[in-house]
Amino acid sequence: MAGPTSGGIAGWSILVTGGGSGIGLATAERLAADGAHVTICGRTEQKLAEATARIAALAADGATARYVVADVTVEDQVVAAVTAAKDVTGRLDGLFACAGGSTHLGSVLTADVVAVRGTIDLNLMGSIICVKQGGVAMADQEVDPARGGRGAIVLMSSGAGRFPHPHLWAYGVAKAGICFLAETAGEELGPLGIRVNAVAPGIIDDELMSFITGGGPLLDDYLAQMPLGRVGTVEDVAAAVRYLIGPESSFVTGETLGVDGGHHLRRGADYSLLFGG
């Protein structure tokens, strides 16, 4: 598959799941600022509407923003979100599967199986559905040399999926599956001109992590295990996603890019500290 003949993502149509807040919203803002037509989806309409207004305010001339209410664990709803994004230009050039989270925290020995299953379903199965439906939409469109192929998919993994974080194991198992999904899908879809990669953030200062980044023993433990010695920002991750979706990375697939201040070089944070461990 030939490389791109030009750079930039102006005029591209990109879907961001979990785009109503945090990393998803920051990435959608970055993509629109670079000229892309951005569609976000999530489960809460009011949050999506407010996020879309923010994205539109930062969008470059000619770029647009819209939202679709969708749960990534429901395949029909993902199909609807993909269709809405593709309808803008007739193509789906990029998909960032950002939606995720954890409903379980604690020992394997006292695991709440329902919460574990919910965590795996949201993170791993949601990503699988996005790869399937995003890949189907991309495979059905023409190869564009300026884009380096038919499209690019970026998945949301985590440092917790690459090295153990005590008590955060259910989330880690799901995120580890996403790393392997990027490799497997990257291998299968590469010949079709579709690239699949993942990002693996460390501790990021957003609303989901505010109970940690606000301070305390767990934050101290994180910082002690990070060579760069600081908490990450949503913009740090957005920049990595922008690279992996854009033509600048047209020869990269099946990779998981750590965005963690070097945390992966040491040990995972110990979430038992939240319980006085």
What pLDDT was estimated at residue 5?
47
What pLDDT was estimated at residue 210?
93
Residue 249 has pLDDT above 80, yes or no: yes
Task: Give the pLDDT mean for 22-40.
Answer: 98
Task: Give the pLDDT mean for 185-193.
Answer: 98
What pLDDT was estimated at residue 3?
55
Task: Give the distance, in angstroms, between the CA of residue 119 and the centroid of all CA atoms in the same chain.
Answer: 15
What pLDDT was estimated at residue 277?
62
Looking at every residue in the chain, the average pLDDT score rounds to 95
CATH of segment(s) 13-204+234-258? 3.40.50.720
Would you state the torsion angle of the CA atoms of residues 168, 171, 173, 179, taken in this order, to the nearest 10 degrees?
Answer: -120
End-to-end, the C-alpha distance of the chain in Å comes to 52
Task: Give the pLDDT mean for 145-165.
Answer: 94
CA–CA dist 239, 253 (Å, integer): 17
What pLDDT was estimated at residue 7?
72
CA nearest neighbour of 244 among 27, 20, 21: 27
- Under DSSP, is residue 66 helix (H, G, I), strand (E, B) or coil? strand
Task: Give the pLDDT mean for 26-52.
Answer: 98
What pLDDT was estimated at residue 2?
52
Q: Which of the residues are catalytic?
A: 171
CA nearest neighbour of 175 among 260, 49, 234: 260
Band (pLDDT 50/70/90 cuts) for residue 146 is confident
Band (pLDDT 50/70/90 cuts) for residue 6 is low
Show the CA angle centred on residue 75, arms to residues 70 and 79, nearest 5°: 70
- Under DSSP, is residue 153 helix (H, G, I), strand (E, B) or coil? strand
